[in-house]
Structure 1
């Protein structure tokens, strides 16, 4: 379901500027081709990054909401042909020509950024930068709870792809063999900075926001999606503490088997009988300074993905348990699936 708000009055817009810390605004017109071309990208960002009272995505139809458009110097005078995403219709305003579409990002009610024209990369970069800032300043209010804020991670996303962790169907998440003394499965897709990166007593006071295996080192994670995805990369964060005299230190994952498009979670014995679409072996050098390992998938095998099963087969070390703090999914979002229905798609094995 779209999280974007279609503004119906000046009062509604002004109310959102007061109630939401950041408001991302798409000024558009129905007759503008570039507006229509970039709309799916805008909707994807909205689905991933919207947070109640923190970051809100809205659309303003300049033909229907002339008062709002005029207030911010945007007034359309016609409906020319705009056939390509790279084209931008230059139209008149009270002070200066404005490209169509125009995106304005408000922070604390004031214009923070303005993007003129249909530039997907610039739009994504600016919005995600502000979202990361919002995450850093609003962790206590729950920003990032759906898994898309990631300013604490290092490095850039693969070119042309975005963080699609927000497409996980949270209600359908399952995790087998987890120790109930630690966090629930939902902490894995939380975008907030793991307390394991903070360290000390302050982190301990915030609770155990990670998962650990229970009877042995194996874990089985099932993630269904709200949309059909093209999955390019997985990132797994694991932050075991330093060894202490009396502490049993969990291990980082070593062998991970990945199964796309399963209709339900696999049992451990069942997984041993089913060939994995991809098997990964991680070593110490694969983990960066944030405790994150980046796993590049065989992209051709993960083109129409409605669910993923991650089977943590063993850990890297001599311990008895494995710890995972976060999981992030990077790729492209496709069509929304009908909720409640998850059909198995051919994964290339022919069975």
Structure 2
């Protein structure tokens, strides 16, 4: 009788824990040619040196929220990237963990914003900053922890406007709509 209880307990454990053990760990496919996937710290450092503003997605292949936000990040890159002025990068924390450690990334996804090679808070008009938004002094967005498409779009739009100004590009503001 005792063996039956162990068997039933084992089945329940597999049922409850199994999905976590066998979840999709395949690489997240990148659909945008405008997203730089840095495989080494040197690649990332080179991008920071060559581009004024960079939006970085620190992610992991096994992270469901990372998978959920990936298409939004790709669309933002396709719509707002300006060579030399605004770039989008992805860092896999399991493969390039030294870069993640350098910037204190401990949750995935985390979006960090860079200006002139250094993390820099961004002044952005957020409809309502959620729990995922980490604010710096003065209410500027320091980083976003979590898959928050509304906040990510708002910060990206602010960076895009800044990049347009430094690049001398004039254009109509579309309100940050990503289709």
Report the TM-score range of the alignment, normalised by the length of the smaller protein. Answer: 0.5 to 0.7
Name the counterpart of 1:122: 151
Residue 67 (structure 2) pairs with residue 36 (structure 1): yes
Query: The residue matched to 1:99 in structure 2 has which SS?
Result: coil
CA distance in 1, matches of 2:103, 2:36: 18
Name the counterpart of 1:347: none
Unaligned stretches of 5+ residues in structure 2: 1-31, 121-141
Residue 108 (structure 2) pairs with residue 100 (structure 1): yes
Query: The residue matched to 2:89 in structure 1 has which SS?
Result: strand
CA distance in 1, matches of 2:47, 2:147: 24
Query: The residue matched to 1:103 in structure 2 has which SS?
Result: strand
Shift of 1:133: 1.2
TM-score using structure 1 length = 0.35
Matches within 5 A, 1:200-279: none
Output one character per residue of 1:110-157: Cα deviation in whole Å (capped at 9) or x when no partner: 112311111100000001111101111221xxx57xxxx644x7xx46
RMSD of aligned Cα (Å) = 1.7
Name the counterpart of 1:192: none
CA contact (8 A) 2:85 2:166 kept: no
Residue 64 (structure 2) pairs with residue 56 (structure 1): no
CA distance in 2, matches of 1:137, 1:23: 14
CA contact (8 A) 1:132 1:150 kept: no
Q: Which runs of 4+ in 1 moved over 4 A?
A: none
CA distance in 2, matches of 1:126, 1:11: 26
Output one character per residue of 1:250-272: Cα deviation in whole Å (capped at 9) or x when no partner: xxxxxxxxxxxxxxxxxxxxxxx
Unaligned stretches of 5+ residues in structure 1: 75-97, 163-331, 333-351
| 1:111 alignment partner, one of 102, 106, 119 | 119
Name the counterpart of 1:132: 161
CA distance in 2, matches of 1:67, 1:18: 18
Residue 103 (structure 2) pairs with residue 72 (structure 1): yes
Output one character per residue of 1:53-88: Cα deviation in whole Å (capped at 9) or x when no partner: 1111110000000111111112xxxxxxxxxxxxxx
* Between structures 1 and 2, the one with greater strand share: 1
* Between structures 1 and 2, the one with greater helix share: 2
Shift of 1:8: 1.3
CA distance in 1, matches of 2:108, 2:38: 18
TM-score using structure 2 length = 0.66
